[in-house]
Amino acid sequence: MKIFNTESMQLEEFKPITPGKVSMYVCGPTVYNLIHIGNARPMIVFDTVRRYFEYKGYQVNYVSNFTDVDDKIIKEAQEEGVSSEEISERYIKECRKDMEDLNIEPATVNPQATHEIQGMIDMIRTLIDKGYAYVVDDGTVYFEVDKDPNYGVLSHRNLDDLQSGFRQIQVTGQDQKRSPLDFVLWKPKKEGEPYWESPWCEGRPGWHIECSVMSRRYLGETIDIHAGGEDLVFPHHENEIAQSECANGKEFVHYWMHNAFLNIDNHKMSKSLGNFLTVRDVNSHYDPQVLRYLMLSAHYRSPLNFSADLMEAAKASYGRMVNAMTNLDFHIANAKTEGLTEAEQKTLEDAAACRKEFEAAMDDDFNTADAISAVFDLVKVINTNVNEDSSLVFMNTLKKEFMELTDVLGLIVERQSAASEDEAARIEEKIRERQEARKNKNFAKADQIRDELKAEGIVLEDTREGVKWHRE
């Protein structure tokens, strides 16, 4: 398996620290409003990475944080006249709902920054003791970038270039910094802000320290994969490396993975452009699986465009997968023969070739775009070879192939939860009523039933094997 490592800027063969196990940390959202579709891209991409590791037999320890102390949360709380905690708890709940809709597997742990303050104080103390951090008069603790010879290793920046760039920016209140690049580990409270006791002042942690601490606590000092959006490479991940490696004296991360930006109608998403879209907005118009499908239709390191046209195209493509499964299930339910024929045996070899193609794509730095093509090759095999004469073994084998591949992508192609089984039974009943009406030449009633179902988005199809239905 090859992974593109942002640090080496190369494809590298994946070698886990512990055979059969993967430790993975994904920077999570700051919870001050509903997540936008830009937040959803890393969630979906790295969930798929995790699923593929699991498919390959790895046990994945997957940690993703919620940043629940931050200026934006405090601002939102002040505007609403409620506590910061109320804001963050509300939006953590909403975020979990969106993640569930997008079929994102629950993380092993979702640590929250405010529950990990003691760990942050401990790491900051170590950094001060080892001479990598200093305290100024008002109690602010800074990390001293000059003390870390490796600084810039991830973002491939040279310290001198960085400093000349930053020297232009004079930040008020930060004139006690030894270098403009030094960043905050701990800062004093302001009026009305949440704060914690610390050896330096009553205050709160800087943003970067939380991920260093939570990654160490839940995954250990050195981990396999750390991931996030490419906007996090600098300064967030660069600073995480500095903190963790200086505090622990060990390599922090073996593989750094970053997904590219998401644009809307070829523009950067922003509130001021009025093209700011939440996951909830999109999912109120589409099956959430369509958004997931769209996100996986491009390679994670390529910029992805979001538009109404692309969503319609994604809906149609995903619909073809669902229809293939619906038809397969129909034939399985009505199978007349058990044993595999010679021709079927040959077709199963074609299906196995699709799986190989899928795995080759995923092994190549998780190329989900090509993996989706492989799934469609399998859809074609199913659609052209499955019919009323197909054997049960044949169809069940195809179904297993199809389910396993679409599961890696996290796409739910089979709609058979308990709720949808009841739903299917209700629709079947309606179809029986309609058949009955037709038999009695009550065509008005038959048409009425068909129209009612159509209004629900259910399309009936008369076939040799009886009436079939599928969703539009």
* From 20-28, 55-63, 69-77, 78-86, span contacting Zn ion (CB under 5 A): 20-28
Helices 308-333 and 288-296, interaxial angle, to 10°? 110
| Range in contact with Zn ion (rule: CB under 5 A) among 71-79, 204-212, 215-223, 351-359 | 204-212
Nearest to 358 by CA among 48, 23, 61, 102: 48
Q: Enumerate residues 6+ apart whose C-beta is below 8 A from 85.
A: 68, 114, 194
Q: Are 282 and 40 in contact (CB under 8 A)?
A: no
User: Count residues contacting Zn ion (CB under 5 A)?
Assistant: 2
Q: How far is the CB of 7 from Zn ion (least distance, A)?
A: 16
Cβ of residue 268: shortest distance to Zn ion, in angstroms? 21
Residue closer to Zn ion, measured from CB, 28 or 319:
28
Locate tokens 């090859």: which residue?
2
Q: How far apart are CB 236 and Zn ion at their closest, in Å? A: 6
Closest CB 194 distance from Zn ion, rounded Å: 20
Nearer to Zn ion, 113 or 298 (CB): 113
* Contact between residue 106 and residue 90 where contact means Cβ atoms under 8 Å apart: no
Shortest distance in whole angstroms from residue 211 CB to Zn ion: 3
For the segment 343-402, give every residue that binds Zn ion (CB under 5 A).
none
The residue ranges of DSSP E strands in 265-306, in sequence order, are 267-268, 304-306
CB of 237 to Zn ion, least distance (A): 7
The smaller minimum CB distance to Zn ion, of residues 238 and 365, is found at 238
> Which residue, 42 or 319, has its beta carbon nearer to Zn ion?
42
Phi and psi torsions of 125, nearest 5°: -60, -45
Q: How many angstroms separate the CA atoms of 219 and 201, rounded?
A: 29
The region of 27-35, 88-96, 279-287, 435-443 touching Zn ion under the rule CB under 5 A is 27-35
Could you tell me where the beta strands, DSSP code E, fall in 82-216? 133-135, 141-143, 183-188, 203-205
- Closest CB to Zn ion among 27 and 413? 27
Residue 211 or 408 having the CB closest to Zn ion: 211
409 counts as binding Zn ion under rule CB under 5 A: no
Minimal distance, residue 244 CB to Zn ion, in Å: 11
Q: Pairing state of beta strands 21-26 and 59-64?
A: parallel
Backbone angles phi, psi at 239, to 5 degrees: -70, -35
Instruction: State which residue, 134 or 300, has the beta carbon closest to Zn ion.
Output: 300
Residue 25 beta carbon to Zn ion: minimum distance, rounded to whole angstroms: 8
Residue closest to 300 by CA, chosen among 21, 15, 72, 26 = 26
Residue from 3, 24, 26, 27 touching Zn ion (CB under 5 A): that is 27
Q: Which of residues 211-240 bind Zn ion (CB under 5 A)?
A: 211
Q: Nearest approach, Cβ of 133 to Zn ion (angstroms)?
A: 19
One-letter amino acid identity for 123?
A: M
Nearest to 326 by CA among 392, 454, 457, 424: 424
The residue (of 225 and 361) whose beta carbon lies closer to Zn ion is: 225
Q: Which tokens sit at 129?
A: 């003791």
Q: Which is nearer to Zn ion, 206 or 288 (CB)?
A: 206
Q: What angle do CA 111, 112, 116 make, to 5 degrees?
A: 90
Nearer to Zn ion, 45 or 211 (CB): 211
CA distance 412 to 296: 14
Taken in order 272, 273, 274, 280, is the CA torsion positive or negative?
negative
Segment interacting with Zn ion, rule: CB under 5 A, options 23-31, 243-251, 282-290, 311-319: 23-31
Distance CA 40, CA 159 (A): 33
- Minimal distance in Å, beta carbon 204 to Zn ion? 16
Q: Would you give the binding string for Zn ion spanning residues 163-202, x where CB under 5 A is met?
A: ----------------------------------------
Interacting residues with Zn ion (CB under 5 A): 27, 211
